[in-house]
Amino acid sequence: MAIYAEKNAQGETLFILETEKSTYQMKADTNGYLLHLYYGDRIEREDTDYLLHKEDRGFGACPYDLGRNRTYSLDSIPQEYSAGGAGDFRTPCISAEFENGGRTLDLRYVSYKELEKKPALAGLPALYETEENKAQTLEICLKDSAEDLYVYLLYSVFEKEDIIARSCRVENRTGKQVALNAVLSACMDINEDSPLDLISFWGRHCMERNVERRPVAHGKTVIDSIRGTSSAQENPFVILCDPDTTEDFGRCWGLSFVYSGNFAATAEKNQLGLTRLTMGINPEGFRWNLQNGEVFQAPEAVFCYSPMGLTELSQKYHQIYRKNLCRGYWKDRRRPVLINNWEATYFGFDTEKLVAIAETAGKLGVELLVMDDGWFGKRDDDWSGLGDWKVNEKKLPGGMKALCDRINALGMKLGVWFEPEMVSEDSDLFRAHPDWFLHVPERGYSRSRYQLVLDYSRKEVRDNIHDQMAAVLSSANIEYVKWDMNRHLTEVWSAGLPADRQGEVYHRYMLGVYELMERLLTEFPHVLFEGCSSGGGRFDAGMLYYMPQSWCSDNTDAIERLEIQYGTSFGYPMSAVGAHVSASPNHQTGRRTPFYTRGVVAMAGTFGYELDLNTLTDEEREMVREQVAFYKKNYDTINRGDYYRLTDPAKNTEFCAWEFVAQDQKKALLFGVITHVRSNIAMPVIRLKGLKPQAKYRLLCKAEGVGNSEKAARALEGIYSGSLLMGAGLRIPNLRGDWPSFCVELEEVQ
């Protein structure tokens, strides 16, 4: 039983949520406030409210109905879901404005109930139950003390996964309109004055999800996006941890937002040293007019606690997202090895070029050709064509079906690139509907990549794009869609809403994107959808609900990808990471990297190629054949196994290593890249993880470098115990050359 509720003699109700390794406690106290008591290591079912420190503090505002009691201030008591305007001066979870202009909310406990199933969230992505992974859900009802405004807090507990999914909905029964200025999804007050670190993931185009760790200081640290997407600049996933927490030791709390639009995560330490962490839709630019009888549903936030360090925390997110967030036909199936023509041809392709690439690729074991940007409308560059999703038959004579039939005849699948949320000014769609993009009348508007953002808050816009996309997908045996989104939202104003509801556009836009995705997934269930936003600019848990993988970054440089994929792995499964072998010199950095190394790095995700195989040497084409065969053979270990970060590439400038271990621990893969080859040194020892201590493993090692690199790799081969490899470790091979790499296969010997 994961949910426990008990009422004591004072009329207080204690709520306890239990997972295998954690306990979450809260209490509706005698004053009617829902207080947060504890979230951490699994403990006995004992009330921890004795840790609350109530005292008369200067400038502490106390609730009116407490009379002369000056020791009860909402500003110093840990709360479960704080409201604005009533004495808590920290970040509020909800802020509302009533008809008289008042902005004070005073939420008091009303009731609770346990739900038999985890509820779906209308129009929003969320975790779901399976037969294997069940959840129990607690719903707590709060009400404003003066108005009939209700807040329902939902807690869904996945017990064996150590996951608690939180969301809330607001219901207006006041008989009047209420304006919501903020509705966050989750809050955690840590009731101890102890130092904590905040880990977040910042970036930019072509360098997403860099790891940044800093102490939580007095004041507020805000990790957010107001770009209309989750963005490359910040990611809606953060970690709180003790300062001494490492990969294998220490307390850490993860908070992941299942949403793809504007977000804000705020960590703050108050004057007493108490830490609050919140997550939800960014209040900046948000205002939702909630009419009487209406309900506003906030997105879901996913909590996870680990007492055993960052690796365990990451693996728990990997498991829950693979099993209880990703959906559909491709959730558990092996995804095809693909080749994308973008860096091979850019806009300059036709049927014959594509068929030539596919013919060579098919012979080498590649299974899917993705036709990228440029196949539609008037699209020979990025100035025009977006919004006109009709085949350009000058490039593709006979249309999509003719191309698809030829690709299928080679034993290959065909995939197609779309950018459905955008429109070019030079397009038939824009000329027919010049008011369908986001802009403020009588003002200029911003261009980014020479394109504008369609107003997805409007149903007629979504219907038009849906009909165009559905016509293309129905016209041929298309089995993959790359859904791209290459600019952020500016001049966010909709002709479909009145002036007093323009604060709803950001969120309605995101709901519209989700609605179209759901519609297409329902109609074309066997199509594999991959997310993209100039690479990893919308790489978040919300997208995983619709698309089981996303293009991790437009930066395909293998050495840069070491850091990008490292940061991504903290919150997202490697099965979601689109990673490809690209040309050398690399198109983004000009770096020349060995072909084998490019393959080693791209193995940490959904594998493919981003080049013209016909330009490769015979030796390189044979390496492609070997890489594809190796990936298919080890697909389950890579995409369903446990992932271990063995080095931090931003700190270890000598080498980078990572490991995959199969769920049954019978197989493992150790990958490594030497990022700084040095002369006359003792190569470092690396300790493996996740093996069976008493089992014996046969090691096979392959490496590429110059000189005696392959001989050095073969010297590692032999049979070793799991305890030896995890305790004493393995000295990595002494490789030479520019960015050499190695792969060690481990298989249990019976």
Are 30 and 40 within 8 A, CB to CB?
Answer: no
Judged by DSSP in three states, 307 sits in: coil
- Cβ-in-10-Å burial (0-12, 13-18, 19+) of 701 comes to buried
Judged by DSSP in three states, 696 sits in: strand
Place of tokens 């953002």: 453
CB atoms within 10 A of CB 440: 13
Are 373 and 342 within 8 A, CB to CB?
Answer: yes
Judged by DSSP in three states, 536 sits in: strand
Token output for 58: 């200067």
Listed residue (637, 585, 642, 627) closest to 315, CA to CA: 642
What sign does the dihedral 414-419-424-427 (CA atoms) show? positive
What's the 3-state SS for 123-168? CCCCCCCCCCCCCEEEEEEEEECCCCEEEEEEEEEECCCCEEEEEE
- ∠ at Cα 163 (326, 219), nearest 5°? 110
Place of tokens 């109700």: 13
Q: Which of 148, 425, 620, 626 is catalytic?
A: 620
Q: What is the residue type of 276?
A: R
557 is catalytic: no
Are 416 and 482 within 8 A, CB to CB?
Answer: yes
129 is catalytic: no
Q: Which of 540, 557, 560, 745 is catalytic?
A: 540
Q: Where are the beta strands (DSSP E) in 400-514?
A: 413-418, 422-423, 452-453, 478-483
Question: What is the distance between the alpha carbons of residues 109 and 440, in angstroms, rounded to a whole number?
Answer: 42
Question: What is the distance between the alpha carbons of residues 507 and 183, in angstroms, rounded to a whole number?
Answer: 12
Question: What is the distance between the alpha carbons of residues 674 and 738, in angstroms, rounded to a whole number?
Answer: 8
Q: Terminus-to-terminus CA distance in the chain, angstroms?
A: 39
Q: Please state whether the peptide bond connecting residue 63 to the residue before it is cis, i.e. omega within 30 degrees of 0.
A: no
How far is residue 37 from each of residues 190, 453, 481, measured CA to CA in Å? 8, 45, 46
| Greatest Cα pair distance in the chain | 86
Question: What is the distance between the alpha carbons of residues 700 and 684, in angstroms, rounded to a whole number?
Answer: 19
Chain center to CA of 126? 12
**Which pairing describes strands 136-144 and 13-18: parallel, antiparallel, or unpaired?**
unpaired
Q: Any idea which residues carry the catalytic annotation?
A: 540, 620
